[in-house]
Amino acid sequence: MSNLNNKKIILNEEDIPKRWYNIQADLPRPLEPAYNSRTGKIATKEDLCQIFPEAIVKQELSKERWIDIPEEIIYAYKIWRPSPLVRATNLEKFLDTPARIYFKNEGVSPSGSHKSNSAIAQAYYNMKEGTKRIATETGAGQWGSALAMACKMFGIECVVYMVKVSFQQKPYRKSLMQVYGANVYASPSMQTQAGRKILEKDPNCCGSLGVAISEAIEDVITHDKAKYALGSVLNHVAMHQTIIGLEAKKQMEIAGEYPDIVIACLGGGSNFSGIAFPFIMDKINGTHKNVRAIAVEPSACPKLSKGVYAYDYGDLSGFTPAFKMYTLGHTFMPSEIHAGGLRYHGASPLVSSIVKEKLAESVVVKQKDVFKAAVTFARCEGILPAPESAHAIKVAIDEALKAKEEGKSKAILFNLSGHGHFDLSAYEQYLEGKIQDCNYSEEDVQKALKDLPKVNI
């Protein structure tokens, strides 16, 4: 049993994991290969190297269980890692629950979220291979901020296409990226052919991550010594983020605990994989068969819960290879919710495979309930969470109350993937009663699913 006196558990710098965990080595079935619709064949290493550095492509395709983290990356991580594990004792008392609630606070990074774990790694590998310009997309701005910081560290130009609805809702995220030296454009933009084409059809288009990815990849294709960096979805990103769960396992052990439930929000899958994969490893190998991993989705964009498991593109224009994943269709345009980082049509192929194998589960929550949980958490624990992270808080509260009803003592761990300091306009709208619940349109999804690529492999 844990010690109530341990409010926060902080590891030493020497405890930072020296290797990332690659769950591909332990999957019950290997992932379906990516598909290149231009060649009509399985996507090759050479195809991927057109937009990613070779070292990243090797990680993307690797089946090795453990990948060494270079010393230069570990040194950069030391700015904020190891991140603290905190017991939410005030929240427990407020809920009057027998459950013990822990959260991994990734909001302590300079960019304010877990995204820096992969941004540092990707910028480093690009620098080593001579990349001069990296283009990317960002939803709420957490990934764009992290990559802008990382590119400045390693002397690389950074260009960010920020989904327009978030660009307008979160102007200070844009400012932070610009402080780090990035060029930031509202997407869809007039900078690319893909953006101009969309604006021609719909001048008021609020954008999506799929649109922004199309613009970023077009940017790479049209510039010399340029590469693309993705903040979620792909295998190498999921692997970089496992440093979160690997640290959390050490910290939970110090607390005398092993979680019964591990929770994270689900956009593309980066922070869910980061906190959950090291624990799902134990579920697969049988050391902790009963641990539950819960991915929390917004009702406006519930791909794991309401999507189809099929090949689909990662972007609107079909520049990317097609991946086997749960998807709402790459042309699906989600509602203008404030959790901009979760407005993505597809889920990571790795997360999709794990859910398909019933090694993890998904839950759908509504926007007003999420903000209510966020405010409760802030008033109890003093930390303002990002709207994305608040999805995990909502389900952690639900599970704690369920434990109370059942009279069971459970250990609950969730990932506080980022702070909400740049999201105060959203909180202002909630407190003024202006936040609305958004459900995905079945009609729009069915329309988007008609555009799924035809794959013959």
Question: pLDDT tens digits, residue range 394-441?
Answer: 999 999 999 999 999 999 999 999 999 999 989 999 999 998 887 777
What pTM, to 2 d.p., does this model score? 0.94
Compute the mean pLDDT over every residue in the chain, rounded to the nearest whole number: 93
Q: Which residues contact 75 (CB under 8 A, 6 or more apart)?
A: none
Residues 264-308 pLDDT 10s: 999 999 999 999 999 999 999 999 999 999 999 999 889 999 899
Strand partners, 180: none
In degrees and rounded to multiples of 5, residue 426 shows phi and psi of: -70, -45
Task: Identify the structural domains of the chain with CATH numbers, from first to last.
Answer: 19-41+50-67+114-235 (3.40.50.1100), 82-112+242-449 (3.40.50.1100)
Q: What is the pLDDT of residue 2?
A: 45
Q: Which residues contact 163 (CB under 8 A, 6 or more apart)?
A: 137, 138, 139, 187, 206, 207, 208, 209, 211, 212, 340, 343
Query: pLDDT-derived band of residue 326, with 50, 70 and 90 as boundaries?
Result: very high
pLDDT surpasses 90 at 209: no
Q: What is the pLDDT of residue 435?
A: 84
C-beta separation of 217 from 161 below 8 A: no
Q: What is the pLDDT of residue 341?
A: 62
Helices (H), 170-285: 171-179, 193-201, 209-221, 235-241, 243-254, 270-285
Q: And the tokens for 168?
A: 């307008």
Highest mean pLDDT among 58-62, 166-170, 303-307, 344-348: 58-62
DSSP 276: H
Q: And the tokens for 240?
A: 């970089």
Q: What is the mean pLDDT of residues 260-266?
A: 97
